Structures are given as structure tokens and as C-alpha cells.
Structure 1
Amino acid sequence: MSRNLLCSLLLLIPATALCAPPPMAPYDLAGLIDLAQRTSPETRQAWDEAQAAAAGAGLARSAYLPQLAVEALAGAQRTPLPAPATVVARGYFVSDTRESIPSLTVKWLLFDFGRRDAARDRADATVFVANAAFTGAHQTLVFTITRDYYAVRAAQGKERSAQKALETATIEQLAVTARQKHELATVVEAARADRQVAQARLAVVRTGAARTVALSALLADIGLPPDTALTLVPDEMTNLPLPPASDVARYVDAALARRPDLLAAQGKLEAAEAGVRAAKADDRPTVSLLGQAFLNDGRLRSDGGAWSSVHRPGGALFVQFSWPLYDGGMRHSSRLAAEAARDAAQDSLEAARRKAEKQVSNAFHALKTALAEVEAAHAVTLAATVSHDAALSAYRHGLATFDELSAEGNALAAAESDEEDARANAFASAAGLALATGEAHPDPGGP
């Protein structure tokens, strides 16, 4: 994946990513996801790693260009040198040298028989992996926020169901009280009615506590303090997610084509294959061009005589050929390690594909099951409502016992609670299918 694509991913991050605004009520799911993306350290880490990979790709490409350097060498040297006794009686003379040599050097690797190409391919594959990881981090965050968001919605729904159950128990209590005034209800029935109300109040307290726990989990996922006063828009669970629009095979194919973890595994395999090519290229020679332009500003004298000086430019141009012949087995071991890494990457990709197929299949059937459960739970709620209303009317007219009325009230409360759970599970299952297939957002209508 190119650097341009990596840079384009920056557009996915809001400009205020490092300075998230304070929470403002109310929030919908999209707003919570956006807020989480602004504050999530996981997405910031993935972005930093993608930037580092892009820099690595630039480093690999720099190997194709010549290297220029300005150097300077200056110093003094005193060197005794041998000389024939017929020339110098003591058999040696002393040479004093003082020089300053600034230079401009160039080194250009002309041919390396695949080393730089392999390094570039490996760097590009690393960029691809980092980009896929960046996308995957966002998708995982979206799924986590979506799942816990609907958990809060379910907890709110169960709290509402508990409130309705308390209202129902209160109505039943009033019915018992009305019959007791006419001596048609016993003290035991009145006590049972009071117990039903007390139990309903306890359920309200418990469901309220469960809602608080679910909200705390959502705040933690977003990265907000636990005491944040977060409120949500009115219930968004009226319209259920669409059922899967095709068979599971199409979803599996879509997942294999776009899931970030599979793309990353493919990228790691390509990087490992490039590593094998680089290891093999180490057995081949290299050809480089070496050049230097310098100025020799120096002085020389022998045995304390007069100084001779020079202030002239010079230069050199060489073609360097290098071919490693023996290194104690280092290149052989490097090639074996690279081939093992390639095989491991291939196995990892195959394992990731099988895992993805399983996850997609499970998520596909989980969504279908969840939608069927919602339909069934709603039917139970409707039937329980009718049954409870009939039992209440019958009790008021002395045609049913309080035990029958109480049982119908409990059944209605349980049915409403189960329906709230089923609806939340349907939305969470839709988000799970989106994550399994690599969708950025839940779109259960089709891949």
C-alpha cells in the first residue's frame, strides 16, 4: 500500500483527535463512536505505527539514491623514514607533514542484484500491514462501542420493564384492596399483593444498578471518566436491523476479501517473501561507484629543512566490486531464518482464514437466531399482556384467584424483560456480523 494511501487514512481521524471535546448530551451511537475514536489510545497507537511504517518505506527507497558527504581531514604527522647510508649517514631521515584536506565524497550503489528491491517490497508490505492494523483497530473499537451501547439500551429497557412490573403489581394490589373492602379477599391475598409490590421495587433497584454498570463499561470503552454525566438520545431500538440478505457463503467471501486481520496476514506473508529474496540476494555481488573531490592544503619538510607547500585540488573515481565468499555460515543461517518466517506467515494466513470463516458463520447464524428470538419474544409479550389483562378482569369479578393473577403478572414482567434482551442482542449480533465480515459499520442488509 502506497504512502499516498497511508496519508489519505489521516482523513479518517478528526482534526481534534488529541483534544476531545467535553461530553455533551444527548449522544447517539454515531456520536459515541466518533468520541471514542478521538480518545482511544489503541487507534492513536495504530496510527503512529502506520506512520513509522511509512517512514520505513521512505528509508528503503533512499537506498536507490547516491550518498553525498562533506568531510575534512586535518592534522600534523612526524614520521621517521629509512634512507641509504650513502645518502644519509645515520640511515634515516625525519619527515614533518601538516595538512588540511576538505573533500566532497559520493557513494552510489549501482547494482546489488535484488537487495534493494527486496527491502523496498518488504517495507511496502509492512506499510500495508500497518494500514490494515489501523483499519482493524477502528473496526474493533466500533464493534466494542456498539456492543456496549446496546447493552446500555437493554439495561434501560429492562429497567423500564421493571417499572412497568411495579405498576402492574401496584394495580394488582389495588384490586386486592378493593375486594378486601367487600370482604372478598383474604388477608393472605393482601399480604401476597404487598410482597409482589416489594419484589417489584427490588427489581427496579437491581435493574437500575445493572444500567449503571453497563453505562460505566460504555464510558470506559470511550475513555471518559466514570463520573461523566452521559445521556443518550431517545431509544434507537425501534427498528430492528435487517436480516442477512444472502447465504453465508457470500459473507465469507466478503470477509476474506476485506477483513483487516486477513489483509494484514497477507501483507506479513508478502513481507516474509521479500525477506527471503533479500537473504538470497546477499549471496550476490554488489557494484558501487565511489568518487571524491578534495583540496590538499599541506606542507612538508625533511630533517628540519625548508618547508614545501601545496594548495591544489584533486579527485578520485573508483568502481568498487564486492562479492562475499565466506562468512562462517551467516548468510546461510539468515536465509534459513527468512524461509522459516515465510512458512510461518503462510501458516498464519491459513489459520486466520479458517478463523474468519468460522467467525462469519457463527455471526451470520447468530443474527438470524437473534431476529427470530425478537419475533418470538414479542409474541410472548403480546400474549402475556392479553393473558394478564384477562386475569386481572377475572380477579376483579371473582372469577380467578390471586395466585393466578400473580402468576400472570410475573409472566408479563419476564416476557417484557426477555424482549428487551432479545432486541439488544439482535443489534449486537448485527454489529458482530459487520466486524466478522470487515465492514466499517453494522450493515446487516448484505455484504
Structure 2
Amino acid sequence: MGGRSFIHLGALAIMALGLAACSSSALKLAPASATTPYQGMAGQAAVDTGSRDFGVAADPTMPIAIATPKLDSSRSYSLPELINIAQLSSPVTRAAWERAREAAAATGIAEATYLPVLTADVLAGYAVTSNTAPGIDAGIISVPNGTITTSGGQLVPSLAIKWLLFDFGARDAALATAQQLSFAANVGFNATHQKLIFDVANAYYQYSAARAQSRIDREALDNAKVVLSAAEARLKQGVATTMEVAQAKQQVAQAQFDLTQASGHERGSYSMLLGAMGISPTTSIKVQDLGGKPLPRQVPANLDSLIVTSLQRRPDVQASFAQMKASEQGILAAQAEFLPKIAVSATANRVIGNYSVSDSRLSSSANLEVNQPNAALLLGVTMPIFDGGMRDARLDSARANAAASQQDFARLQNTAAQEIVVAYDVLRTSLSGHAAASELVSAARTNYDAALEYYQNGLGTLADVSVAQTGLLKAQYAQAQARSNAFAAAATLAFATGTMTSAGSL
């Protein structure tokens, strides 16, 4: 091994040590210990300030974009309008659309593998080579050993084409996989919109229930004030005691407390509605009440048929089925790796150079110009023979992935069927509960009106009025909650069955 080789090896060793040192020094980017707060900037060494404050400094360069749609402050928006606003504002649907576009582009990549690949390269540079030349001893002429040195610039433009002709279905499997995954992303995009519609509808029904509870508590407060007025009138007439008036005042205070709690819950559910819509939580929007909207109709009688048609229609189940078929194509692609590939390639280049050749034995030099075209057309067959078991491992992995996808598909079907059954039962129970609660409210109101009239006429007691008022309040709560539950259950059933497909479907 010559001296120059040792120099090259030494340079490589120094470079390797330098890279290793850089790798070790990269740890300075992390905190010094598990209890040291991080302070610093991206790409710079962490700073230990000695503080135990784990706060993060605000980044003024970070763009903050929270949707703030333009709304009409004098308008009261219906549920379909709220859903339309959400679909236009929510980043969730836009992200799903971009993922669908990404999957579609992956299909284009797979299709491109059927076409030839054409590349153009240009190499240019300066090179120096030295070769030892033996001496010549021919009696009269004697030339000692020497060195021939060639140096000069070189330009090599080249054009190459490679076309894979046959690969035993590997590209077909890759294309089929990409197409199935693109389909899964597309129906996933629709599923994202369905989920957004459901989330907004569910939040809207919860908000409506909270507003109904506030109205009930406001009515209860009015009723408590009526009872207080009756107690004070009876006290003036000498037929009531100060104890009764104190009890009536306590009921008013309790009703005011309940109304305050209900108002807080209403504001919280309003914030949840804005969150479901994906708009700024500081947005002020008027929302239409459920009002006289009719209750959902009775659920279908044939539950088994509903489950089958729903599973075939649900986008998440379709996406899982497509992913299962894509994983099966992965097995075919892995099997194709055991078979040869046939490709044709062609190259064309031209070597252009100007060299200086010197021979130390003759103490002379010469110039050499080169302008040489080259071309080749080749047909190649690649046959894998041994790779240390890599192809076997890939095939086993593909088979395991396909089996897991089959089980995921089966699990999703079971989960979806359970969601449908639960929503089906909840809707049926809610409708029955609302009918019973409506009758209870009617009876409780009659009882309360009679108890209040008796008390105002001196025939009843404050305790009777209190009991009747509590019964009416509970009955109204039950009715309002059953009504909200019925709408929410209907929305859940529509979502579970894949029929909640637009704002107009509500």
C-alpha cells in the first residue's frame, strides 16, 4: 500500500471522528437533565437558567388562525345553517380533503411505474492520474523507470432510458393497493363530513336541552315568587305565620340558585356548540330553538335488515374493507419479489476532454483531445437468489398485515352493529319516556295549580304547594331531557346507519 493510500485512510478516519463528535454534541440541544426546564430556540443549545419554571416562551412568529365567519347578528340560525357554517369553517374537513388528494396522487405514482424512466446527466470536472511506467533497455537505447501523468478537463453529457417490461404482477399489486387506499381516503372524506354533521347536531341538541332547563328554572322562579306573594298576603290577613313567609323566601332563593346553575350550564353547552362547529369560542351567534319541531318518527321494525344495509353504506366500514383488500394486494407484491424482472435500458453519451500527457522518462508532454460518442441498448433480467431471508420476512409481514386487516374489518362491523343497536334502543326508550313524561307534566301541573289555588284561598298549606311545585319541576325536567334525548338518539341512529349525509337530512 502506497503512501497516498495511507493519507487517504487517515483523512477518512479524521472525518469519521469529526462526524461522531458532531453526533455527540447534538445532545446539547436537549435539556441537561430530567428535572431541568428547557429554554432555547430551535437548532440552538439548550440554556440552563437555574430556574424550575417549565413554561414555554410565546412564539410571535407562529400564525394563529381560528375561524371567525361573518354572521348576521340579527339573525337566528337553524341547525342546517349551523352545519353549513361548520362545513365551510372547520379545518377537519379540509385536512380530510388534502389526505384524499394525497392518496389520489399516490395512485398516479403507481401508474407512472408502467412507463419508461428517462434521465439526463452531465458530468464535468478536472482529473489527474499517474501510472508507473517501466524502463526500457535495448542496448543502444536505455530509458529508466518513470511516471506517466495525465491531467485535464472532461465533460460527459449522457442520456439514459430504462423501462421495466415485466415483473410478475408487482406493479399491478402496487397500483391496486394505491387505488384501494385512495378509495378509502375518499370515503373517509365523506365520513369526516358525516361526523362533523353529527357533532354539530348533537351539540345543538345538548344546547337546546340546556336552554329548556333554564326556561323551566325561570318558570320555577316565577312560581316561587307567586307562592311568596300568597304567603305574604296570608300573613297580612292573619292566617299565615312568619315561618311560612320565611319558607317561601327560601324557595325563591333556591329557585334563583337553580336558575344560576342552569344558566352556567347553558353557556357551557353554547361553547361546546361553537367548538363542534370549529369556529372561534368568542363568536356571538343566535341559535334557533327546537321549538315545535316534531319528535323523530318511530324506529324501523326490522333491526337485522337495518344493520346489514347500514354496514354496507357506512363510509368507515367501506374504508376498512378497502384497506383489507389493499393489504391482500401486499401479499401479491411480496410474492412477486421472488420472481425475476425483465427490463430494457439504453444509454447514449459523449466524452469530451482535453488532456495533457507527460512522461517523466522522456521529459516530454503532449496534448490529447477527445470527442467520443457512445451508445448501448441492453436487455436485462434480474433474478434474486439470496438476500438473507429479507423477502421471506416481507412476505410473512404482508400476510400478517392482511390477517390483521381482516380482523380489524370484522371488529369494526361488530362495533358498528353494536352502535346501531344501542342507538335504536335509546331512541325507542326516549320516545316512550317523552310520552310518559308529557303525561306526568300534565298531571303535575294540574296538581300544582290546585295546591296553589287552595293555598291562596286559605284551604291548603305551604308544604302542599312546595311538594306540588317540586313534582312539577321534576316532571318538566324529565320531559325536556326526554325530548332532547330523543333528538340526540335519532341523530346518533342516523349517523350509525350512515344516513346523516347532509344538513338537509336532519
Q: Matches of residues 34-433 of structure 1 in structure 2 within 5 Å?
A: 34-75=84-125, 76=127, 78=129, 80=131, 94=148, 96=150, 99-236=154-291, 238-298=293-353, 303=359, 307=367, 309-311=369-371, 313-433=373-493
C-alpha change, 1:170 and 1:323, in structure 2 (3 Å) is same
CA distances 1:288-321 after superposition (whole Å, capped 9, x unpaired)? 1101222343457865665554545432111111
Aligned to 2:27: none
CA distances 1:185-240 after superposition (whole Å, capped 9, x unpaired)? 33333222222222222221111111111112222333334333232124446321
C-alpha change, 1:18 and 1:253, in structure 2 (3 Å) is farther
- Tell me which amino acid in the other structure corresponds to 1:47: W
Distance (Å, rounded) in 1 between the aligned partners of 2:215 and 2:175: 60
Distance (Å, rounded) in 1 between the aligned partners of 2:143 and 2:292: 110
- Tell me which amino acid in the other structure corresponds to 1:408: A
Q: Does 1:21 align with 2:69?
A: yes
Q: Which deviates further from its counterpart, 65-74 or 364-373?
A: 65-74
Query: For the Cα contact (< 8 Å) 1:72–1:102, is it kept in 2?
Result: yes
C-alpha change, 1:181 and 1:421, in structure 2 (3 Å) is same
Aligned length: 430
Distance (Å, rounded) in 1 between the aligned partners of 2:185 and 2:505: 30
Measured after TM superposition, the shift of residue 410 of structure 1 is 1.5
Q: Which deviates further from its counterpart, 418-427 or 304-313?
A: 304-313
Query: For the Cα contact (< 8 Å) 2:100–2:186, is it kept in 1?
Result: yes
Measured after TM superposition, the shift of residue 149 of structure 1 is 1.2
Measured after TM superposition, the shift of residue 51 of structure 1 is 2.1
C-alpha change, 1:84 and 1:335, in structure 2 (3 Å) is farther
Aligned to 1:6: none
- Tell me which amino acid in the other structure corresponds to 2:317: L
Query: For the Cα contact (< 8 Å) 2:216–2:476, is it kept in 1?
Result: yes
Distance (Å, rounded) in 2 between the aligned partners of 1:445 and 1:242: 14
C-alpha change, 1:69 and 1:130, in structure 2 (3 Å) is same
- Tell me which amino acid in the other structure corresponds to 2:214: E
Query: For the Cα contact (< 8 Å) 1:241–1:426, is it kept in 2?
Result: yes
Q: Which deviates further from its counterpart, 425-434 or 140-149?
A: 140-149
C-alpha change, 1:268 and 1:308, in structure 2 (3 Å) is same
Distance (Å, rounded) in 2 between the aligned partners of 1:442 and 1:193: 51
Measured after TM superposition, the shift of residue 334 of structure 1 is 0.7
Distance (Å, rounded) in 1 between the aligned partners of 2:356 and 2:229: 123
- Tell me which amino acid in the other structure corresponds to 1:224: I
C-alpha change, 1:383 and 1:19, in structure 2 (3 Å) is closer
Distance (Å, rounded) in 2 between the aligned partners of 1:239 and 1:158: 19
Q: Which deviates further from its counterpart, 420-429 or 136-145?
A: 136-145
Query: For the Cα contact (< 8 Å) 1:435–1:442, is it kept in 2?
Result: no
Distance (Å, rounded) in 2 between the aligned partners of 1:116 and 1:125: 14
Of structures 1 and 2, the larger Rg is shown by 2
Measured after TM superposition, the shift of residue 28 of structure 1 is 1.9
Query: For the Cα contact (< 8 Å) 1:244–1:444, is it kept in 2?
Result: no
SS in 2 for 1:241: coil
Measured after TM superposition, the shift of residue 158 of structure 1 is 0.7
Distance (Å, rounded) in 2 between the aligned partners of 1:84 and 1:316: 39
Distance (Å, rounded) in 2 between the aligned partners of 1:51 and 1:388: 63
Gaps of 5+ in 2: 1-64
CA distances 1:26-56 after superposition (whole Å, capped 9, x unpaired)? 3222222223333333333322222222221
Distance (Å, rounded) in 2 between the aligned partners of 1:274 and 1:85: 69
Gaps of 5+ in 1: 1-16
TM-score of the two chains, using structure 2 as the length reference:
0.77
TM-score of the two chains, using structure 1 as the length reference:
0.87
Q: Which deviates further from its counterpart, 248-257 or 92-101?
A: 92-101
Measured after TM superposition, the shift of residue 418 of structure 1 is 1.5
Taking only aligned residues, the RMSD between alpha carbons, in angstroms, comes to 2.9
Measured after TM superposition, the shift of residue 77 of structure 1 is 5.4
Query: For the Cα contact (< 8 Å) 1:242–1:444, is it kept in 2?
Result: no
